[in-house]
Amino acid sequence: MFEEYCSRCGECCRHYAGIPVTKKDVKRWKKNGRKDILEKLVVLEEDFVMEGGIRLFDKGDRLIETGEDKYCTFLNREERVCSIYEERPEVCRKFPLTPSGTLWIYPESCTVGKRIKGLYD
């Protein structure tokens, strides 16, 4: 979605807690035999994660693990592209929109977020 406006900065692939996945994502990866992805999932142990005044994740949510640099483990660091693009989680397909279709908090470098905000203004 909105890929033509993406500068591939990779910043949407960075979060200190991890990248959220849905039950639907997990079901699809099981069906498609993507053990390599399933092995990289972690369960949130904190009670919750807040960002910008919004409660993002809750205890027990499943997330894709991030590296020491806080980028998703599936981000190709050299080329700044997703190494599981065809299988990426729903949240990544919709970014910078939330599952309900509103504009998510987006990084300063996000040309897509700026473009969409421009459409909203």
Q: Which of 30, 103, 107, 117 binds ligand SF4 (CB under 6 A)?
A: 107
Q: Does 72 bind ligand SF4 (CB under 6 A)?
A: yes
Q: Which of 1, 8, 99, 117 binds ligand SF4 (CB under 6 A)?
A: 8
In this structure, how many other beta carbons lie within 10 angstroms of the beta carbon of residue 10? 19
Nearer to ligand SF4, 47 or 69 (CB): 69
Beta strands of the chain (E only): which ranges? 19-20, 41-43, 48-51, 54-58, 62-64, 75-76, 81-82
In this structure, how many other beta carbons lie within 10 angstroms of the beta carbon of residue 120? 7
Catalog residues that contact ligand SF4 under the rule CB under 6 A: 6-13, 19, 64, 72, 74-75, 82, 84, 88-89, 92, 95, 107, 109-113
